[in-house]
Amino acid sequence: MTNLPFTGSGVALVTPFKDGKVNFDKLGELIEFHIENSTDALIICGTTGEAATMPDEEHLSVVEYAVKKSNGRVPIIAGAGSNDTVHGVNLCKRAEAVGADALLLVTPYYNKATQKGLIKHYTLMAEAVKIPVILYNVPSRTGVNILPETLLKLSEVPNIVGVKEASGNIGQVAKIAALCGDKIAIYSGDDNMTLPIMSLGGVGVISVIANILPKETHDLTQKFFDGDIEGSRELQLRMLDLINAMFIEVNPIPVKTAMNLLGYELGDLRLPMCEMEESNLEKLKKVMKDYGLKF
């Protein structure tokens, strides 16, 4: 597949806030940080970026800023999913218009959809734009699972090129790989499954932990591509406890908390996301220290 927006490590970038607004200066610093540390793509306004609390104008202003700041140095993939197909189509068009290189489209949440509904929903959204589209399957958050057979059908839409697979079901990932082959590229949506998914033909990860460990996450994928499976495995296992700590409360609470502890000054989370429970905060600090992070 030649029109993939990226292979390797794509960071699901956090969104910094200050006084209730996006802190664009800090966002610019994060973009430069990731480019300097070999991150292969920036996913803007996804789950980790708290897009669910961002009005469309703010959401699109963040995408546009990232496009201009990166200036072609790294692909910008804009979250543009919705549980309202008409709204989603509009958001896709507008994200393309401000320069996004590709789109990440989460499955409809709350109202959910049948598999037939998913096909109709995604087809309309993808056909509204010309840029590549990556579907985002995360049933633990949305309540709906994209079946492998549905992905095969959606692969007939020319610009649906990949899926971020966060079902947590390695058997399902294997089925997608077996059924779809090179018609759909598979990105790991779970940091603890990056290497296993790549071993089944995955092309990289859309990562939370890369916010903190960008070079290590890039190296994990690059070593695999280079045939250094042992080196890739060592990185996967070394990061495992820290990866798991990023999900002791709902994402992005732990990762944003960890980054603030490390001095990134990203501001608060937006409600209903809130500060960590004290017991979980202490667990997070211990894992960070055990890994060797200093704060």
pLDDT tens for 102-161 read: 999 999 999 999 999 999 999 999 999 999 999 999 999 999 999 999 999 999 999 999
pLDDT number for residue 261: 98
pLDDT number for residue 1: 60
What is the DSSP track for 234-261?
A: HHHHHTHHHHHHTTSSSTTHHHHHHHHH
> Among residues 188, 140, 148, which one has the least CA distance to residue 172?
148
Rg (CA), the chain: 18
pLDDT number for residue 32: 98
- 292 SS3 class: coil
Residue 79's pLDDT band (boundaries 50, 70, 90)? very high
pLDDT number for residue 165: 98
pLDDT number for residue 169: 97
- 13 SS3 class: coil
Residue 54 has pLDDT above 80, yes or no: yes
- For the stretch 272-295, what's the b/e string if a residue is b when 16 or more beta carbons lie within 10 angstroms of its beta carbon? ebeebeeeebebbbebbeeeeeee
Known catalytic residues are 136, 164
pLDDT number for residue 18: 96
Residue 2's pLDDT band (boundaries 50, 70, 90)? low
> Among residues 69, 76, 71, which one has the least CA distance to residue 5?
76
- Residues shown for the chain: 295
CB 67 within 8 A of CB 100: yes
pLDDT in tens, 224-242: 999 999 999 999 999 999 9
pLDDT number for residue 257: 98
pLDDT number for residue 126: 98
> Among residues 168, 197, 203, 199, which one has the least CA distance to residue 183?
203
Residue 253 has pLDDT above 70, yes or no: yes
* Paired tokens of 187: 């990105």
Residues 76, 265: Cα–Cα separation, whole Å: 23
Say how many Å lie between the first and final Cα of the chain, rounded: 43
8-228: CATH number: 3.20.20.70
pLDDT number for residue 10: 98
Higher-pLDDT residue of 185, 2: 185
